[in-house]
Amino acid sequence: MRPWIRRRGRGMAMLVGMILGVALLVFFVANRQAPERQEAPVSATPVRVIEARPLALRLEARGHGLARPAETWQAVANVAGRVIERHPALESGTLLPEGTLLVALDSSRYELAIAEAEAELASLAGELAQLAVEEENTRRLLALEKEALNLAEQELSRIENLAASGSVSTSRRDAQRRSTLGQRQAVASLENTLALMPARHEVLTAQRERATVRLAQAREDLADTRFEAPYDLRLGEVEVERHQFVAVGQRLFQAESLAAAEVEAHIPIAMMRRLLGAVLPERPFGQGPELNEQLDFSAVEAELSLVGAEGVGWSGKLVRVASGLDPATRTVRAVVQVEHPYRDARPPDRPPLQRDMYVRTQLSAPSPGPRLVIPASAVHLGEVWRVDDEDHLERRQIEVSFTQNDLAVIEAGLAPGDQVVVDDLPTAIAGMRLEPRRDDTLEARVAARALGEWTRGEGGQP
């Protein structure tokens, strides 16, 4: 076959194939079916939620401090003397009851001083009595001398008249004059004596008072020779021995009262401001004693726990706030007092609150009104995840007033009744569908923590 006939046959075959392909494509396009649309249901994420609601809240302030006795006795010698008696149990750490004689000094010189002052007082009392008798006698003598002077004056006047008429001699007149002058001198002498008696009385009175002071001083010195326990106490450092001579001002021993102990707890300013704002009046304070009367801390409860000893604690009361802030930590120094720290003590399981124990202090008081409280873990960088009315996730910006006991007190951004998500979602997309499940157990736990019951139940650990 010729070549051009073969090329023409192949071209016709290719053309026929293309025509058949186009025809098939047109046929399939004309007879195609639209795909079916099936809407798959959107799955909801299950989450735990609680209802935000106002709860009764106990405001708390926590800090640490060292314990110390509320009253300490530094026994210092006011008089000099030799130690003649020393209690056999006068050693550091000994507990002794009130009225126990601890140390006695030699009192002989002070007893002699008392006897001397009493003798001087007796002597002055005799002199004062004698002066009173002398004054009475002088007044009687003065009355008699005045009567005699009146008679002498009358006699002198009669003789002067007779001498003027020449009936009496001049010598008789002069003699009467000398007699009258003598009587006048006697009266003046007695009057001078009476005038000096008040001054003598004052001198003797001053001497009596001075002797009385010496007697009182001697008795005080005698009392200072005996050191008796003014209250139930525990002895500290003892620096005196029997037969030792002690000088005035020398320290003998130290003792601590068993009646009460104090802890000066260092508490952050923000915590203390919240606590005091709940218990102190809002009106301005007065001045002077009125200010102390208005600082009523009776509503504040205080719980102390020994650091490093689980389950060892005491109940106390806030008695005052020390002046000024701690210079190192800039914290408030709240003084908590524990009554009878040695009562019911059972060492070593329950030791008494002693000096230099490092304790944790927790102060609490009821909030003036209910507060909106949620778990602190439900707050995520200033926002909470809320379930809206259609069970969708809403990211709500909030304002937290403060946190306490793993709780956040909400100031703004939430309303009572809002459903708050308490689970930590891997992805929190606004508008995502949720399946909320209310956690009643967590709500009860939040209410208990708000009242501080969780803190107490966990041994006082914040």
Across 429-450, average pLDDT: 87
Q: Domain 260-366's class?
A: mainly beta
Q: What is the model's pLDDT at position 429?
A: 82
In this prediction, residues 388-414 reach a mean pLDDT of 88
Burial of 309 (0-12, 13-18, 19+ CB in 10 A): middle
Summarised one tens digit per residue, pLDDT across range 218-274 is: 999 999 999 999 999 999 999 999 999 999 999 999 999 999 999 999 999 888 888
Query: Which one of 3.30.70.1560, 3.90.550.10, 2.40.420.20, 3.30.420.40 gives the CATH number of domain 47-57+369-457?
Result: 2.40.420.20
Coil, helix or strand at residue 250: coil
Is the CB of residue 238 less than 8 Å from the CB of residue 90? yes
pLDDT at 36: 56
Question: What are the domain boundaries of the chain?
Answer: 47-57+369-457, 74-105+231-255, 109-223, 260-366
Of residues 175 and 98, more confidence is placed in 98
* Residue 350, pLDDT score: 85
pTM value > 0.75: no
DSSP characters for 108-119? HHHHHHHHHHHH
Segment 403-431 mean pLDDT: 86
Average pLDDT over residues 27-55: 71
For residue 179, pLDDT over 90 is answered with no
Is residue 457's pLDDT more than 60? no
| pLDDT on residue 118 | 92
pLDDT at 228: 94
What tokens were used for 10? 């192949």
CATH class in words for 74-105+231-255: mainly beta
Tokens describing residue 131: 């002066």
Q: Look at residue 131 and tell me whether its pLDDT is greater than 70.
A: yes
Residue 337 has a pLDDT of: 93
